Amino acid sequence: MEIDVIGGDIIKTESGAIVVGLFEGKKSLDGDVASIDRALEGVISSLIKSEEVKGKLDEVNVIHSLGKLAAERVVIIGLGKKKELTTDKIRGVIAIACRQLKKQRVEYIATVNYGEGINKIIAEDSAQAIAEGALLGLYSFKKYMTDKEDKKADIKKITIVCSRKTSINLVKKGVDKGRIIAEATNLARDMVNEPANYMTPSHMAEMAGRIAKENKLKIAVLDSEKMQELGMGALMGVAQGSCQPPKFITLDYKGKRNGGVELALVGKGITFDSGGISIKPSSKMDEMKTDMAGGASVMAVMAAIARLKPRINVIAMVPAVENLPSGSALKPGDVLKAMNGKTIEIISTDAEGRLILADALGYANKLKAKRIVDVATLTGACVVALGHVCTGVFGNDKEMIGKVINAGDVAGEPMWQMPMNEEYKEQNKSEIADIKNAASGGAGAITAAQFLAEFVGDTPWAHLDIAGTSYGDKERKYYTKGATGVPVRTLVNLVMDISRRK
Ligand code: BES
Ligand code: ZN
Ligand code: ZN
C-alpha cells in the first residue's frame, strides 16, 4: 500500500473516502471537520446533535457525500477525549477505519495528519502513527488460502493531506519511519504465523540470510558441530529429539566503524514446542508454532535498524531449535552442561526455552556484548500474571529496565516490571547439579528469569517474557488475529534511544 503526502485542501481531494477524526464531547466543530460539515450541508453537526455520532474512541461512521465533496464518502472516527489522545490511539483509530473501508472495497483513502499539535504530539509522530496504524491494521496472513478472493479488495493508497505547507516534510519523514517499523513488525508476524512444518530452524536461517542480503547485514549460522565445539550443551540437549538440525543464527549491524557490540538482542527460536518428553496437552498445542516469536522479532528489528541507520553496533542472536519427543530426546532427570560451565538438571523438557537461552546468553557474553536484551515466549506463568496486554520485564539493571519500559510506552506496547528478589533463586536449586530447569512453589515467570540471570553474569540485562503478548486470539486495535509482532517496535525504539544517548 502506498502512503502519499501532499499539501492542499482535503475537501478538494479526490478519493473513495476521507477519514477525519472527531473528539468526544465537542459541541461546535472546527478545522477540517467543520469545512467538511459545511460542504455536506450540516449532516455531521446534525448527527452529533441527535447523538448518533459521539466521537467515542474507535467509533466509526461512514457517510456518503452524494457529490457534495470530491470524495465519495466521509468516515468519521471517534478519537475519544481530546486530553487523552495519544499516538497509540491514533494508530488504533486509523487501523479500525482502514479495516472498515477495506470491507467496503474502498481503494483510495485521504486523511489529514490528525493528532498533530494535540497533547504535544508533533507532526512527525502523528504521521508515523498513522502510517504504522494503517499498515499494521491491514495486515493479514492469507498465504495458505487457495481462494484469493480477499486479496482483490486491498486498499491501494492513503493520501495524507497537509493544510500547512510547513509540515509536509516532517509528515513525510514520519511516514517513512512508520513504514520501516511497520514493515519490520509485519515481517515478524509473517514468520510467527508461518506453520512449523515450513518454519523450521533451517528455514529461519534462510530467512535471516534473506534479511541480511536485502539490508547488507553480516550473517553467521552456526551448525551442530560448531555448537558442540563451543560447548553449547544445553542448546544441543533440546535439539537432540528432533530430526531438524538446530541453527544458531547471528545478524550483525555495524552503525559505527569501530568498537565492540553495544547491544545483543537474543530471541528464543523454538520453531515448535511440543514440550518434548514432558509433552504438552494436545489442546492448543498448534499455537506452539509461535514459540519462535522472540527470535523472529529480533531478526525483524535488525531489518528495521539497517534501514534507519542509527550509530550503534547491534547483534541479534537466535538459537533456532525444534522441541520434540523421540527415542533420542532429552529426558527429565538428565543433566546438561551449558557453555559457561554450569550444569543443569532437567526437571521438565518443556522448560526448554531457558536451556537454549542459557547458551545464547553465554555466547553474547563470549562476544563481550556491553548490554543484553533477550526476548522469549518463556512461560505460561507470565500469561497467568499479565494476560495478553503487558509484556513482563525482568533484569539485573535498573537503567536497562527503565529504557525498555520507556521504549515500550512510546510504541504502545505496554511493559510491566516484575520482581527479582534473591529469595526466588532458592526455588531453582538442584540436589545433583548447579541448577534445575523448572521450579515448584509458584512465580514461574520469575524463577525462569532467575534461571536466565545465572547465565548473564554482570552484563546489564533485561529479559522480556512475551508469552502472552506475541500472539492474540482476537482482533484488537491494530492487531489482527494471530501474531502481533510484539515487541519489534519497542526494540527499534530502544536501539534508537541507546544510539542517541551516548
Ligand atoms: N513455550 C512455553 C511457554 C508458553 C506458554 C508460551 C503459553 C506461550 C503460551 C514454554 O516453553 C513452556 O512450556 N514453559 C513451561 C515451563 C514449566 C514447565 C516450568 C510453562 O510455562 O508451563
Ligand atoms: Zn516448553
Ligand atoms: Zn517454549
Residues 6+ apart with CB under 8 A from 157: 1, 2, 3, 4, 107, 108, 109
Q: How far apart (Å, rounded) are the C-alpha atoms in residues 243 and 327?
A: 11
Residue 13 lies in a domain: yes
Q: Which residues surround the ion ligand 3 when the cut-off is CB under 5 Å? A: 270, 273, 291, 353
Residues 6+ apart with CB under 8 A from 215: 302, 303, 306, 307
Kindly give the number of the ligand 1 atom that is closest to the alpha carbon of 437. 19
**Do 77 and 224 belong to one domain?**
no
**Do 452 and 480 belong to one domain?**
yes
**Do 157 and 220 belong to one domain?**
no
**Do 141 and 269 belong to one domain?**
no
**Do 253 and 288 belong to one domain?**
yes
What's the DSSP call for residue 202? H
Average pLDDT over residues 244-257: 98
Q: Quick check: CB of 351 below 6 Å from ligand 1?
A: yes
Q: What is the pLDDT of residue 502?
A: 57
User: Residue 497's pLDDT band (boundaries 50, 70, 90)?
Assistant: very high
Q: Quick check: CB of 352 below 6 Å from ligand 1?
A: yes
Q: What is the pLDDT of residue 501?
A: 76
pLDDT per position as a tens digit, 209-240: 999 999 999 999 999 999 999 999 999 999 99
Residue 437 lies in a domain: yes
User: Residue 27's pLDDT band (boundaries 50, 70, 90)?
Assistant: confident
Q: What is the pLDDT of residue 31?
A: 87
Q: Quick check: CB of 353 below 6 Å from ligand 1?
A: yes
Residue 17 backbone class (left: φ over 0; alpha: ψ -120 to 50; beta: rest): beta
Q: Is 311 a catalytic residue?
A: no
**Do 245 and 377 belong to one domain?**
yes
How far apart are the CA of 235 and the centre of ligand 1, in A?
16
Structurally, how many domains does the chain consist of? Answer: 2
- CA distance readout (Å), 314 to 74, 207, 244, 403, 499: 45, 18, 28, 16, 10
Residues 6+ apart with CB under 8 A from 343: 335, 336, 337, 433, 434, 435
Residue 176 lies in a domain: no
Q: How far apart (Å, rounded) are the C-alpha atoms in residues 415 and 465?
A: 10
Q: What is the pLDDT of residue 152?
A: 61
Starting at the edge strand found earlier in the chain, the sheet holding 60-64 runs: 2-7, 157-162, 108-112, 17-23, 73-80, 60-64
Q: How far apart (Å, rounded) are the C-alpha atoms in residues 243 and 356?
A: 17
Query: Cβ atoms within 10 A of the Cβ of 214, count?
Result: 11
In the three-class reduction of DSSP (H, G, I as helix; E, B as strand; rest coil), residue 210 is classed as helix
Residue 170 lies in a domain: no
Q: What share of the chain is helix, strand, coil (3-state, %, to 5)?
A: 40, 20, 35
Average pLDDT over residues 435-439: 98
Q: How far apart (Å, rounded) are the C-alpha atoms in residues 121 and 89?
A: 12
Average pLDDT over residues 436-458: 98
Q: How far apart (Å, rounded) are the C-alpha atoms in residues 83 and 42?
A: 26
State which of 95, 130, 164 marks the end of a domain.
164
Q: How far apart (Å, rounded) are the C-alpha atoms in residues 77 and 98?
A: 11
Q: Is the pLDDT of residue 8 over 90?
A: yes
CA atoms lying within 13 Å on the CB side of residue 199: 24
Residue 171 lies in a domain: no
pLDDT per position as a tens digit, 49-93: 999 999 999 999 999 999 999 999 999 999 999 999 999 999 999
Q: Which of 54, 157, 280, 425 is catalytic?
A: 280
**Do 154 and 207 belong to one domain?**
no
Q: Is the pLDDT of residue 155 over 80?
A: yes
Residues 36, 110: contact at Cβ < 8 Å? no
Give the cell for residue 23.
473528539
**Do 91 and 218 belong to one domain?**
no
pLDDT per position as a tens digit, 448-479: 999 999 999 999 999 999 999 999 999 999 99
User: Does pTM surpass 0.85?
Assistant: yes
Q: Quick check: CB of 465 below 6 Å from ligand 1?
A: no
How far apart are the CA of 242 and the centre of ligand 1, in A?
19
Q: What is the pLDDT of residue 304?
A: 99
Q: Quick check: CB of 312 below 6 Å from ligand 1?
A: no
Element containing residue 271 per DSSP (H, E): strand 269-273
**Do 141 and 251 belong to one domain?**
no
What sign has the CA pseudo-torsion 217, 223, 229, 233? Answer: positive
Of 85-89, 166-170, 409-413, 486-490, the range with the lowest mean pLDDT is 166-170
Instruction: Please report, for the domain that includes residue 280, its CATH number.
Output: 3.40.630.10
Q: How far apart (Å, rounded) are the C-alpha atoms in residues 269 and 290?
A: 9
**Do 142 and 209 belong to one domain?**
no
Residue 483 lies in a domain: yes
**Do 295 and 343 belong to one domain?**
yes
Instruction: Please report, for the domain that includes residue 64, its CATH number.
Output: 3.40.220.10
Q: What is the pLDDT of residue 330?
A: 98
Q: Which of 268, 354, 403, 489 is catalytic?
A: 354
Q: Is the pLDDT of residue 296 over 90?
A: yes
What is the full DSSP assignment across 134-156? HHHHT----TT-S--GGGGG---
User: Residue 149's pLDDT band (boundaries 50, 70, 90)?
Assistant: low
Q: What is the pLDDT of residue 150?
A: 60
Residue 174 lies in a domain: no
Type of residue found at 251: L
**Do 190 and 139 belong to one domain?**
no
Q: Is 216 a catalytic residue?
A: no
Ligand nearest to the CA of 270: 3
Task: Look up cell 470530491; give the residue.
Answer: 70
Residue 175 lies in a domain: no
Give the cell for residue 396.
539485573
Element containing residue 236 per DSSP (H, E): helix 233-239
Domain boundaries, position 406: 183-501
How far apart are the CA of 379 and the centre of ligand 2, in A?
8
